[in-house]
Structures are given as C-alpha cells and as structure tokens.
Amino acid sequence: MSDKPLLRIINLKKRFGDKVVLDGISFDLNKGETKVIIGPSGTGKSTLLKSINRLVVPDEGEIWLGDTEIVRCKNINAIRQQIGYVFQDFGLFNHLTALENVMIGLTKVKKIPKKEALERARYELNRVGLSGIEDLYPAQLSGGQKQRVAIARALAMDPKLMLFDEPTSALDPELIGEVLAVMQELAESNMTMLVVSHEMGFARSVSDEIIFIEDGKIVEQAPPEKMFKDPENPRTREFLFKLSELYGEG
Amino acid sequence: MLDFFELVQKSLPTLLEGTFVTIKLTILILALGLVLGLIIAFFQTYGNKPVRLLAGIYDRIFRSVPELVLLLLVFYGLPNIGFRLSPFYAAVLALGLRSAAYMAQIFRGSFMSVGSDQLTAAYSLGMGEYKAFIYVIFPQAIRAFIPPFANEYAIILKDTSLAYAIGVVELLRHGQYIIAVEYKPLPIFLVIAAIYFVLTFGVARLLKMLENKLKIPGIGV
C-alpha cells in the first residue's frame, strides 16, 4: 500500500462525437502530493478531472484510487465521498446557508449525527477563515467566500483526494488570493491535490509537479523549477511564455 | 336593503352546500392534475422518443381544446363507447385531464429552473439520484413551482363553475335553484361571485405567504 500511488491514471481516452478530448492520459499522484494541470482551454483538463469522480465516463483506460478502479466500479457514490471536488462556479446549494452547505454531505450522505456534523462544519468553516458567516446564504457571499465554503464542504467529507477545477477563474482578481491561501495551506498540510489552474505563482510555490496537457495528451510533466527554467518541449515553452505575459510573473 | 340581507341569510346554507361541492371538485381536479402532470413532466423530460412524442401530443390536445368542449365530450360522448360517469366525476376527469397538461409544464419549468451545477455538486458529494432530488433539486424547484401553481389553482377553481353545464350541483347551480324560486338574480349572483372571490383570493394569499416564507435570502430582492 505504502509505495502504491494514491491515484493512478492509465491510458485514459474520451471522445465527444468526432472530437478526441482525452487521448491516452497516464500519470500517478502519490499521497500528499500536489500536481497542477495546465494547458489551453478545450484540451481536456476539465474532462480529465470529471473522469476521476466519473461525472464524465471515459471511453477507455483505468483510474485507480488506491485499490479501487473507478471507471468500472459498482458503487460510484462511495468513491465520490472520498474525492473532494471544487468547481469553477462553486456549486454551492443555493437554498442552504454556508453552514448547511458544509453539513449536508455529513448528515445525508455520511449519516453523521446532526450535532457532530454541526461541530465539524463549524470547524471546517473556521479552517478556511470563514467564522461568522455560517448563517449567510450563497447569494449573500462574495465569490471568494463562496469558493472557500465549497472547499470547506469538500474537506468536511474527509477526502483522500481533492480535485480543483479552475477554482479561481470565476473570481475577481482581488479575491483570488484568499482562495489560493487556503489551497496553499491545504497542500502544506499534506492533502493530496490535483489542481487545474493557470495561477503560476501557486503552481511554482506549491506543486510537486506541473502537467502540461494539449489536445488530450500530456506534452510534458516536470517539477516546477524544471518546467519554468528549462522546459523540454518548445510547445511548453511557448505556452508558459504566453501565460506569463497574460498573468505577469506570478 | 333589508330584503337583501334576509335573502342572503336565507340562501346562505344552500350556497355553502354548493361551495362545499365546488371545493371538493377543485381538490379532486387539483389532485388528478398534480399526479398526472408530474408523470407527464417526467415522461417529457426523461422518456425515450416515442414516450416524449406521446406526452407532447397529450399536452397539445388538452391545451388546445376548450374546457366546455372537454366536459361535454366526457359526459355525453364517452357513454357512446360504454363509459358512463356521473356528472361530478365527468367534471373531475375532464377538468383534471386539462389541468394535467398545464401542471406538466409547471413541473418541467420548475425542475429546469434548478441549474445543472446543483445536481453535479450533489453527485460530487456522493449523493445518488434519489438523494440529490430530495435534498437539492426538490427544495429549490418547489420555490419556482408555487407562483404558477397558485395561478393554476385559481383557474381550476373558476373552471369548476363550467361543471354547471353538465348538471353538477355545485355553487353556481345551487344559486340558480334559489334564483328560480326567489326571482332575485342580482343579490344571489353577487354572493356567488363573492364566495368565488374569497376562495380564489384567500388561497392565493396563503400561497403568496408560503412563497415569501420560502424565499432564499439574497436572491430576488
């Protein structure tokens, strides 16, 4: 168990109609690692993430979470409980308060007693720096607060793995920092994380590896130092240059 | 003036008896409309092509034929093929079938008003379809459901007066009986109108209160 990766993706393929979105993706993610996936839009990054908790069903390939294969497993709901998913557009339940949003997975999915769930939810909201907004509804929160509630909701489920699908790209620039800070703290506390993001500052300081995907294939994967200083593929170089132009040094 | 009050006082018990029948009609039509409407909405949303087509045809027919024609068709027409109903149940069936077509649209609209991101988020927490529906979709859809439902309720209540035409002894016909004896149409019709108004407006107010109570803070302010 110890030397086995937490997440292993083997030759993942997916097409939508004529368009090949994932074209043989394989990589490992060890326990406690954070990997950041970058790449042009429409190249399958989101589809890859969605495949991991089977919100999208791949055509071919295998996804192993520890000893369980996800693509063909019977009880997907049990798997999804172990994978925290943070969406670009938050996905908070509009009719529930921040606290209730964090609690609902605990009480209705994990069947934890309400009192215990309440304590846990308060703890998680506090952990993402949101004490005091427990009783506000999503529509009353800023984008940054919403995303932090979403992270707290995922964390409350005690996930083995956290997936972040462009968690800051729907946020105003001044709100990005607060979300990245929470993610950085998580990574430092040895949460296993797979992050689709173009926040290069975050990728550089937090990730163990950056994976560059284009046209459904991994073009290059390397630790951030290598990726930024000395990328092997000219296409990687070009893309990183464009990113740095867009987002500044990061 | 005194005559008026005396007449109203005298006829009120009979009119209330009719009101009771009207309420019973309304409730049964509502129930049929809700149940059948939900099934049709389900078929239209999740069914395969032939099922969707059938549901669509149903929807078109019952939204295009006048209520009165439906009533006459069910009460006088169906016995021709050996299907005889009392006036009361003929009214329930005809008006209920019509209402189901509208209810189906209301259900569909309110379920579609809940964004697909809500369902995806529910799945990602490990909820199955059933839990996602009960805890996430339904509580939000019900909020979109209430205003058009209040509207449909008012239409059903008022349409029950059409059952008069096939001889159901409801509020309007009870009134007619009194008028036939007393020769005083104006006060009786006014009282009948007032009773319909109270039933329509009162329930609409209640539903409005429910709607406000369920309003999500921060949305639609």
The helix (H) or strand (E) run that includes residue A21 is: strand A19-29
Is the Cβ pair B121, A77 closer than 8 Å? no
Q: Which residues in chain A are contacts of B120 at CB distance < 8 A?
A: 55, 87, 91
Could you tell me how many CB contacts below 8 A there are between chain A and chain B? 71
Cβ-Cβ contacts under 8 Å, B118 against chain A: 91, 93-94
Closest approach of A56 to chain B, Cα-based (Å):
11
**Mean pLDDT along residues A100-113:** 97
pLDDT confidence of residue B8? 87
Residue B221 has pLDDT above 50, yes or no: no
Mean pLDDT for A3-25 is: 94
Q: Is the pLDDT of residue B69 over 50?
A: yes
Question: CA of A170, closest CA in chain B: separation in Å?
Answer: 14
B130 touches chain A (CB under 8 A): no
B33 has a pLDDT exceeding 80: yes
Alpha helices in B65-137 (DSSP H): 67-72, 87-112, 116-124, 129-132
* Predicted-complex ipTM score: 0.93
What is the pLDDT, as a whole number, of residue B2?
A: 63
Portion 42-61 of A in contact with B at CB < 8 A: 53, 55
CA B20 to chain centre: 16
Average pLDDT for A122-130 = 96
**What pLDDT sits at residue A197?**
94
Q: Is A170 helix (H, G, I), strand (E, B) or coil?
A: coil
- The answer to whether A65 contacts chain B (CB < 8 Å) is no
| Chain B residues with CB-CB distance to A102 below 8 A | none
Residues with Cβ within 8 Å of residue B182, at least 6 apart in sequence:
B7, B11, B188
pTM, two decimal places: 0.86
Q: Does B186 touch chain A (CB under 8 A)?
A: no
> Inter-chain contact B120–A136, Cβ cutoff 8 Å?
no
pLDDT tens digits for range A222-249: 999 999 999 999 999 999 988 888 776 5
Q: Is B158 on the interface with A (CB under 8 A)?
A: no
Joined tokens for residue B177? 């009986």
Q: Looking at the partner chain, which of B127, B135, B216 has a beta carbon nearest the beta carbon of A94?
A: B216
> Closest-CA residue in chain B for A142?
B218
- B62-83: buried (b, 16+ CB within 10 Å) or exposed (e) per residue? beeeebeebbbebbeeeeeeee
**Are the beta carbons of B149 and B207 closer than 8 angstroms?**
yes
Query: Span A129-150, mean pLDDT?
Result: 96
Inter-chain contact A139–B126, Cβ cutoff 8 Å?
no
Contact A233, A218 (CB under 8 A): no
Q: Tell if the CB–CB gap between A109 and B126 is shorter than 8 Å.
A: yes
Supply the mean pLDDT for chain B.
93
Residue of B nearest to A87 (CA): B121
Where is average pLDDT lowest: A48-62, B46-60, B90-104?
A: B46-60
> Is the CB of residue B140 less than 8 Å away from at least one CB of chain A?
yes
Backbone torsion region of residue B48, taken as left when φ is above 0, otherwise alpha when ψ lies between -120 and 50, otherwise beta = beta
pLDDT digits 0-9 by tens, A57-84: 999 999 999 999 999 999 999 999 999 9
User: Is B89 at the interface with chain A, CB within 8 A?
Assistant: no
Quick check: B131 contacting A, CB < 8 Å? yes
Residue of chain A whose Cα is closest to the Cα of B221: A139
- Per the listing, tokens 């021709």 go with B80
Residue A1: pLDDT above 60? no
In the predicted structure, residue A86 carries a pLDDT above the cut 70: yes
pLDDT over 70 (residue B16): yes
Report the pLDDT value the prediction gives residue B45, as an integer from 0 to 100: 81
The distance in angstroms from the start CA to the end CA of chain A is 37
Asked if pLDDT for residue A250 goes beyond 50, the answer is no
Distance from CA of A196 to the nearest CA of B (A): 17
What is the pLDDT of chain A when averaged over all its residues?
Answer: 94
**Which of A79, A83, A87 minimises the CB distance to B117?**
A87
Radius of gyration over every alpha carbon of chain B, rounded to an integer in angstroms: 21
Rounded percentage of chain B residues whose pLDDT exceeds 90 = 87
Average of per-residue pLDDT across A44-68:
96
Res. B220: pLDDT tops 80: no
**Per-residue pLDDT reduced to its tens digit, B126-171:** 999 999 999 999 999 999 999 999 999 999 999 999 999 999 999 9
Tokens of A16: 């939508």
pLDDT digits (tens, 9 = 90+) for A179-204: 999 999 999 999 999 999 999 999 99
**Predicted pLDDT at A249:** 53
Whether B82 has its CB under 8 Å from any CB of chain A: the answer is: no
- Is B39 a residue whose pLDDT tops 70? yes
A169-182 average pLDDT score: 94
User: Is pLDDT at B218 greater than 90 in this prediction?
Assistant: no
- B218 has a chain A CB within 8 A of its CB: yes
A91: contact with B, CB 8 A cutoff? yes
